[in-house]
């Protein structure tokens, strides 16, 4: 079930305490910073083009999240992404709301075209939209996908030459060859805004300690999902659940992750 591998990556990541540089949205920026700390990483939230080269130079991973999109951020994302490529650190793109507007979709495509992206992580509607499959996206939420999600994920990953992460009740991860599924998590994770953005932070943190980004992404989602399961036991509603999510990830130990990670490799 790959629990041992996931637990080892958790230990390595926490030992390294990687700096994860975010250019992200103002709705969830504080949540992402705090979830990075709870996971065992260190966050920096910087989007000024003038400091991109220096900031990326001290980071171990870069998250580009288009949740609150504007042209200034796009310019900074491209500068940061190019610097990350020169420094050899993984770039994660979170295509929030891709498919909702043509500007969002075209911006994600530009990032994919102009940068060497290591991980593209989105919900089913966002990934299907970018892959050219029929999907319904309302705002930033996915409302259904036509076709086989595993096939879409694997074929799109192969065409991009990167790892594609499709989140949902069952997370699907593929690098174009292997397919992993992760079934950790809880429905309450959809009751508060920001869990998708936070998941991207955790995935980026794990990517810093494993070059197999399909495995590292699956491990990260198992850890985050397991924290959600534990938070659901403690939380009485959306807000108490959210607080418990941070506490549960902070308290998650490698032994528990090894025993309770529900990761499967399909092929």
Range scoring the smallest mean pLDDT among 141-150, 190-199, 239-248: 141-150
Domain count, the chain: 1
Q: Is the pLDDT of residue 147 over 90?
A: no
pLDDT, the chain, mean? 94
Range of the structural domain that residue 192 is part of: 3-265
pLDDT at position 142 over 60:
no
Which CATH number characterizes residue 185's domain?
3.40.1190.20
185-200 residue pLDDT tens: 999 999 999 999 999 9
Residue 139 has pLDDT above 60, yes or no: no
Say whether pLDDT at 145 is over 70: no
Q: Residue by residue, what is the 3-state secondary structure of the chain? A: CCHHHHHHHHHHHHHHCCEEEEECCCCCHHHHHHHHHHHCCEEEECCCHHHHHHHHHCCCEEEEECCCCCHHHHHHHHHHHHHHHHHCCCEEEECCCECCEHHHHHHHHHHHHHCCCCEEEEEHHHHHHHHCCCEEEECCEEEEECCCHHHHHHHHHHHHCCEEEEECCCEEEECCCCEEEECCCCHHHHCCCCHHHHHHHHHHHHHCCCCCHHHHHHHHHHHHHHHHHHHHHHCCCHHHHHHHHHHHHHHCCHHHHHHHCCEEECC
219-236: per-residue pLDDT in tens?
999 999 999 999 999 878
Quick one: pLDDT band at residue 133, thresholds 50, 70, 90?
Answer: confident
């Amino acid at each position: 079930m790959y629990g041992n591998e996931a637990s080892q990556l958790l230990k390595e990541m926490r030992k390294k305490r990687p700096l994860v540089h975010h250019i992200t949205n103002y709705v969830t920026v504080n949540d992402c910073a705090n979830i990075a700390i709870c996971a065992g990483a260190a966050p920096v939230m910087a989007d000024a083009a003038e400091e991109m080269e220096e900031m990326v130079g001290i980071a171990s991973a870069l998250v580009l999240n288009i949740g609150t999109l504007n042209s200034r951020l796009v310019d900074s994302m491209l500068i940061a992404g190019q610097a990350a490529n020169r420094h050899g650190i993984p770039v994660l793109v979170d295509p929030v709301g891709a498919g909702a507007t043509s500007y969002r979709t075209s911006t994600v495509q530009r990032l994919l075209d102009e940068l060497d992206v290591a991980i593209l992580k989105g919900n089913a509607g966002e990934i299907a939209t970018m892959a050219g499959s029929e999907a319904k996206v309302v705002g930033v939420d996915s409302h259904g996908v036509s076709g086989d999600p595993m096939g879409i994920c694997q074929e799109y990953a192969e065409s991009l030459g990167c790892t594609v992460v499709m989140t949902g009740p069952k997370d699907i991860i593929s690098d174009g060859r292997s397919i992993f599924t992760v079934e950790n998590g809880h429905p309450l994770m959809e009751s508060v805004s920001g869990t998708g953005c936070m998941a991207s932070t955790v995935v980026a943190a794990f990517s810093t300690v494993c070059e197999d980004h399909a495995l590292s992404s699956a491990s990260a989602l198992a850890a985050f999902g397991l924290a959600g399961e534990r938070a659901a036991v403690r939380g009485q509603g959306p807000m108490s659940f959210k607080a418990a999510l941070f506490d549960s990830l902070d308290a998650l130990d490698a032994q528990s992750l090894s025993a309770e990670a529900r990761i499967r490799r399909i092929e």
